[in-house]
Structure 1
Amino acid sequence: MTDSTTARRGRGRRPAAEVRANVLEATGRLLLEEGIQAITFDRVAKEAGSSKMTLYKWWPTPGALVAEAYFSRSQPVLEFPDTGDIRTDLITQLRSFVHWLTGAGRTVTELIGAAQLDPELARAWAHHYATPRRELARARLATARDQGQLTPEADLHIIVDQLWGACYHRLLVLMVPLDDTIVERLVDQALYGAANPSGGTPGGSTEIG
């Protein structure tokens, strides 16, 4: 028996949490470097030093694994700050989001496109990424509302749609380049709106006709 064999047996099986973390790291790296087509259980198992049976036990399809790996990869980059100033925090977070999309835009486009045809990926995307991300934003906005920085009537879900939805619209529908020059304008539009505060007419009159 060689020393290396003894060492491997002495270490025993790796903890499940370590194996899972390695699988998610390998999947996230492959996803961003090569795209969604690179994600197969064969390839990921080889890259992560795991077994295909382990992957099948934790994820029903490669699509489900992709969605969780994408959230795991993006989570540290897209943490939501809380400095006490909602405008500053929205600008900081949205700027990070735009920078992330600038680098991972192809991956996001592939994921959302594939989710239209893969129900398991769609469910995993909503569960592991879209819903948690939305809740982080809603919770930060709710804190700002409780502190009086937003009106009691502010629709937090609509604000989320206005801000992050605008970025997705530009990326997926208009297919125009994203850059952070739009961030402050998006935030100010969402927070302060476009209505004339004097009542809707240049002279301040609210009469119609």
Structure 2
Amino acid sequence: MGRANTAAAGPEPAERHHGNRHGRSEQARQAVLEAADDLLVEKGFTGVTIEGIAARAGVAKQTVYRWWKTKTDVLLDAFLQDAAKALNPPDHGDLGPDLRAHLRQLALFLTRSDAGAVFKALIGYAQHDPAFAAALRAGYLDEQRRRDLLPLERAVERGQLPAGLDMAAEIDQLVGPVYHRVLMTAEPVDQAFTDRLVEVFLHRADVADAGEIGSR
């Protein structure tokens, strides 16, 4: 999943199982998640079915239902796993590089990976299903908010940012425009755009250089 953000790996030796070729193993679960990602990219949201996912993954339909009730549950789990792997901010010891790298990766994840296509489909579905919308907020948006805040929290610890900074409002201004372009306007979300968001924030917050902080 999210193959645009991960290096290709060679095939692992297949385990022997009774029944379908994956059995009830974690290998089967991962195969289902991969299949859901692939089918959504190929066929769109309406073209994804539990039957199709099971066939692509090489498992019985009952195996899919053992873990998930609906195709949206499968797609959400696939997306959450991709996000957890791809969207943890780096720690360079300096706020500017941390934010630039994080926003670039967020933009690439949402626009260039299979996971980004899944995300847009899930956002669309959530408009018609309040219970699923709540699950999406709790599973992704709340957790991603925690990850987005990490560079600012580290900067406060280093003394680059004041402790009283309204970090929630600042994060809205940093990542909000990325989501707006991805979901609303379809304008480019390139490196120049994300770097500009960071520069505006650093200027507004009057962020001190990490080297200067260390020499005090």
Q: Following TM superposition, by how much is the alpha carbon of 1:91 offset from its aligned partner in structure 2, in angstroms?
A: 0.3
One-letter identity of the residue aligned with 2:186: M
The farther-off stretch of 105-114 and 173-182 is 105-114
2:162 maps to what in 1?
Answer: 151
- How far apart are the structure 2 equivalents of 1:90 and 1:177? 19
* TM-score normalised per structure 1: 0.77
Unaligned runs of 5+ in 2: 1-15, 207-216
Q: Is structure 2 residue 132 aligned with structure 1 residue 135?
A: no
1:19 maps to what in 2?
Answer: 28
- How far apart are the structure 2 equivalents of 1:114 and 1:95? 26
Q: Is structure 2 residue 129 aligned with structure 1 residue 118?
A: yes
1:31 maps to what in 2?
Answer: 40
Q: Following TM superposition, by how much is the alpha carbon of 1:32 offset from its aligned partner in structure 2, in angstroms?
A: 3.1
1:86 maps to what in 2?
Answer: 95
The CA RMSD measured in Å over matched residues stands at 2.7
- The structure with the larger Rg is 1
- How far apart are the structure 2 equivalents of 1:10 and 1:177? 48
- How far apart are the structure 2 equivalents of 1:60 and 1:9? 24
Q: Is structure 2 residue 59 aligned with structure 1 residue 53?
A: no
Identity among equivalent positions (%) equals 34
The farther-off stretch of 32-41 and 147-156 is 32-41
Unaligned runs of 5+ in 1: 1-6, 196-209
Q: Is structure 2 residue 86 aligned with structure 1 residue 72?
A: no
What are the Cα deviations for residues 9-53 of structure 1, in whole angstroms up to 9, with x where unaligned?
499974532222221121122223333223211111111122323
Runs of at least 4 residues off by over 6 Å: 10-13
2:112 maps to what in 1?
Answer: 103
8 Å CA contact 2:161–2:205 kept in 1: the answer is: no
How many residues are paired up?
189
